[in-house]
Structure 1
Amino acid sequence: MYMKKYPCVYMRGGTSKGIFFHEKDLPEDKTLWDEIFLKVMGTPDVKQIDGMGGTVSSTSKIAVISPSSREDADVDYNFFQVDIVIPRVDNSSNCGNLSSAVGPFAIDEGLVQAVEPITVVRVLNTNTNKIIEEHVRVKDGRAMVHGDEEIKGVPGTGSRIDMYFEKPAGSKTGKLFPTGNKKDIFDVPNYGSIEVTFIDCANPVVCFRAEDIGIQGTELVELNNNKDVMEHIERIRGMAAERAGFVENWEDARKTSTSIPKVAIISKPQDYVDMDGNEVKAEDMDMCVRAISVGKLHKACPMTVAVAIGSASKIEGTIINDIVKPDKDQDIIAFGHASGVTKVDVKLDGEEVIKGGVTRTARRIMDGYVYVRD
C-alpha cells in the first residue's frame, strides 16, 4: 500500500490554523476532496492522531486557493471545516479567522504582486460569494510576520492585517434576518420557549441570552462538560438551521449542518478571568459573548460571528441591541470572549451592513507535503 502526497502550507490565521492547498495541486474531480481532507486531518478520531488536526474545530480546517476569474477579486478562497468525531467535511460556510491568512498566502505564493508597504488583496470567499478585502503589510516582496499587533487568543505579537467583510449580509440565506424577524421565539423541545435573534451576516449566527439557558455567560471550557446546557444549545441551533432551510428537521443539524449556524451566547458586560488567567473588566467591553462552533466552546471568537453580533448590536429590535445600546455614531463594538476583548468596526447605512472590519495577524508555520494513505 502506498501513500499519496500533496503540496501544502500550514498556516495560522487569527485564532485558527489550517492546511492551505493550491486548487491546481488537488484532483480535478472534487468529489475526491472530502476523503483526502478527512485523511489529512485524521478524522474521525477525537485525538486526530494520524493527521494534522489539532482536536478542536479551530485547528481542523482546510483552505483551497486559486486565481479568481472575477474582475473584482484577486483570488478565490474555498473553506472546508473538517469535523473531528464524525467523518464529515462541511463546505457550507466561511471561517473569518482563517481568512486572514489568505492574503499573506496569496502574496508569498506569487498569486498577487507584492507592493510595499501595504498590499491590498481582494479575496472572494466562494462559500458565501462575498468579498473580503485584506490589507497586508509587506517587506522585501513577502508578507510581514513580525510586528506589534496583539490579538486575544494568540501568544505574542505579529504584523497587523486589516480585514473588511464587504456587504456581508445574507451570506447563506440571502437575508440579513433569515426568518424576517429581528427577534423570534423558539419553542425548544423539552426545554421550553426562548427568545433569539437569528442574523446572517458573514455567517448565519443564532444569538440568545446566557441567562435564558441558565448560565452566567462567563463560563470557559467547563461549559463543554455541562451536557444538559450543551444539548439545549444544540437544539436551539438545530431549530435555527431548520428555519433557514439548511435541514428539513432540526434533529438533523447535528449531523448534516454541523458548521452553520454558529451560536453566540450574549450577556451584559461582566468581569471574568479569561483562558490565559488574565482578568477581563466589564468596563472594557460593550457585551460579553461565548461562541459555540461545531458543538464546542470556541476558545476565542470566530470573526464571522464578530461581524454578525457587531452588526446586530447596531440594529434596533435585536436582543443584542437591547444589551449593548450603542451610541448613534458608534462604529467600534468591543466584546469580551473566552480569550479576552476584541473589537469589530461595523459600518451601516440604515439597516444595511456596508462592511465589518476586524484586525488579525497570521503567519506561515510550515510548507512541504502532506501524506495520506491511499
Structure 2
Amino acid sequence: MYMKKYPCVYMRGGTSKAVFFHEKDLPKDKALWNEIFLKVMGTPDIKQIDGMGGTVSSTSKVAVISPSNHQGVDVDYNFFQVDIVIPRVDNSANCGNISSAVGPFAIDEGLVEAVEPITVVRVLNTNTNKIIEEHVRVKNGKAMVHGDEIIKGVPGTGSRIDMYFEKPAGAVTEKLFPTGSKRDMLNIPGYDPIEVTIIDCANPVVFFKAEDIGIKGTELVELNSNKDIMEHIERIRSISAQKIGFVQNWEDARKTSTSIPKVSIISKPQNYVDMDGNIVKAGDMDICCRAVSVGKIHKAYPMTVAIATGSAVKIKGTIVNNLINPKEDQNIIAIGHSSGITKVDMKIDGEEVIKGGVTRTARRIMDGYVYVRD
C-alpha cells in the first residue's frame, strides 16, 4: 500500500474553503474522483482528522477548474460538496462562496490573462450550467489579496471581488418555482403542516418562517444541539426534496440529496448578537435569516442562498415577499445572518431574474500536493 499525490491549491472563497484542482491533474476517468475527494477531505469522520476537511460543510469542498471551450467563457468550474459523517460527494449544485475564488485562481494559474486594474473572468459553473462574471482586482500580474473590503464571517479585510450571477433562475430544476407555486403547504410527519416557498435561483432553497418551528430566528449554532428543532428542519427539507423530485421518498434525502435544497429560516428584522459577539441592528437589515447547510446551522450565509433570498424578497406572492413587503424600486436587499449583514443587488424584471450581484473576497492559502492513501 502506498500514497498518491495530486497538485492542488487550498483557497478561501468568501466564507468557505476548498481544495482546487486543475482537471488535467485528476484521472481522466471521472468515476474515480469521488473516492479521491473523500480521501482528500478525510470523510467519513466527524473530525476529518486524516484529511483537509474542516469538520463543517463550508470547509469540506472541492473545486475542479479547466479552460473553457464555450464561447464567451474563460473557465469551467465544477463544484463538489463532500459530506462529513457519511461517504457522499454531492455534485448537484454550486457554492457561491467558492465561486468567488475561481477568478483569482484562474488568473494566478495563468488560465486567464491578467489585465490591470480589473480583470473580468467569465466562469461557467458546470453544476448549474450558469454563468458567473467576476471582476477581480489585479496588480503585477496577480489577483490582489490586500484591500479594505470587509466580509462578515471573515476576519480582517481583503481585495474586493464583484460577482454577478447571470440569469440564475432554474439552476438545478430549470424552473424558478419548481413546484409550480410560490407558496406550498407541506405535511411534515410528526409535526404540524407548514407553509413554505421553494425557489430555485442560483440553488434550490426552501424558505419558512422561524415562528412556524417555534424559534425566534436570531439563534446561532446553539440550535445544532436542539435535536427536535434540527429534526423538524431536516424533515421540512426532505419533504421539499421529494416535492421537487430530488428523491422518490423523503426519507432518502438524508443520504442522497444532502446538499440541496438549501434551507433559509426567515423572520422580520431583529436585533441580535452575531457569531463574533457584535450587535446586529434590526434597522440595518431588510430580513433576518438563518441558513442550514448539510444538517447544520451555517455560520454565515451561502452566496447562492443570498441570491435566492434576494429574488424571493422581490417577487410578489412568496412568503418572503409577504413578510418583508419591500419597496417597488428596491434592488439592494440587506440580509441579516449568523455573522452579520450581507447585501445583494438584484435586477429583476417582473418574475424574470436578470442577475444578482454580491461582493466577496478570496485568497490562496497554500499550494503543493495533497496525499491520499491508495
Distance 2:346 2:161 in 1: 17
Matched, 1:312 2:312: yes
Equivalent residue, structure 2, for 1:326: 326
Distance 1:273 1:107 in 2: 38
Residue type of the partner of 2:27? P
Alignment of 1:275-290 (within 5 A): 275-290=275-290
3-state SS, counterpart of residue 46 of structure 2? coil
3-state SS, counterpart of residue 85 of structure 2? coil
Equivalent residue, structure 2, for 1:124: 124
Distance 1:323 1:147 in 2: 36
Return 5+ residue gaps in structure 1 as ranges. none
Distance 1:88 1:152 in 2: 29
Equivalent residue, structure 1, for 2:19: 19
Alignment of 1:242-321 (within 5 A): 242-321=242-321
Structure 1 residue 228: Cα displacement: 0.5
Distance 2:135 2:324 in 1: 29
Alignment of 1:1-374 (within 5 A): 1-374=1-374
TM-score computed with the length of structure 2 as normaliser: 1.00
Distance 1:229 1:297 in 2: 11
Structure 1 residue 127: Cα displacement: 0.3
3-state SS, counterpart of residue 111 of structure 2? coil
Distance 2:288 2:323 in 1: 10
Structure 1 residue 72: Cα displacement: 2.1
3-state SS, counterpart of residue 367 of structure 1? strand
Structure 1 residue 231: Cα displacement: 0.6
Distance 2:106 2:244 in 1: 33
Structure 1 residue 326: Cα displacement: 1.1
Structure 1 residue 122: Cα displacement: 0.3
Distance 2:60 2:301 in 1: 15
* Percent identical: 82
Q: Deviations over 1:313-368 (max 9, x none)?
A: 00111011012211111100001000001100000011100000000000000000
Tell me the C-alpha RMSD between the 2 structures.
0.4
3-state SS, counterpart of residue 312 of structure 1? helix
Distance 2:192 2:326 in 1: 31
Distance 1:145 1:164 in 2: 20
Distance 1:119 1:157 in 2: 20
Return 5+ residue gaps in structure 2 as ranges. none
Distance 1:171 1:242 in 2: 17
Distance 2:214 2:69 in 1: 49
Distance 1:329 1:140 in 2: 40
Distance 1:172 1:341 in 2: 27
Residue type of the partner of 2:51? G
Structure 1 residue 370: Cα displacement: 0.2
Distance 1:243 1:142 in 2: 46
Residue type of the partner of 2:212? D
TM-score computed with the length of structure 1 as normaliser: 1.00
Structure 1 residue 98: Cα displacement: 0.5
